[in-house]
Amino acid sequence: NAGVTQTPKFRILKIGQSMTLQCTQDMNHNYMYWYRQDPGMGLKLIYYSVGAGITDKGEVPNGYNVSRSTTEDFPLRLELAAPSQTSVYFCASSTQGANTEAFFGQGTRLTVV
């Protein structure tokens, strides 16, 4: 079972460049999330989606955009990359409900130089 798949695993960007982090899940989950993980800071929510065509901002959305055209895919777009966006990015998905498990991808390590 593939679960949640993120691509790429690693990427180096120059300041001002843009890129899209891909995330796809094969579990038919309605809920999908993007988090960033910085050392000693835990995971911070960037954007989330409760279904196709519906997205909402999380805690740290500035500098990012998302779309959700299908249940399976939830890409994260970085426009005008900045050094502050150097981080590890995780995509996750789950079914609805407070007590259900969220499944995480392997992460994308992004460095902006």
What character string, x for contact with another protein (CB under 8 A) and - otherwise, covers 79-98? -----------x-x-x-xxx
21 in contact with another protein (CB under 8 A): no
Does 7 bind another protein (CB under 8 A)? Our answer is no
Q: Distances in Å between the alpha carbon of 90 and those of 5, 34?
A: 10, 6
Q: In whole angstroms, what is the distance from residue 61 CA to residue 44 CA?
A: 10
Of 40 and 62, CB closest to another protein: 40
Residue 45 binding another protein, by CB under 8 A: yes
In 3D space, the residue among 104, 7, 85 whose CA is nearest the CA of residue 46 turns out to be: 85
| Per-residue DSSP letter, 59 | S
Asked if residue 71 binds another protein (CB under 8 A), the reply is no
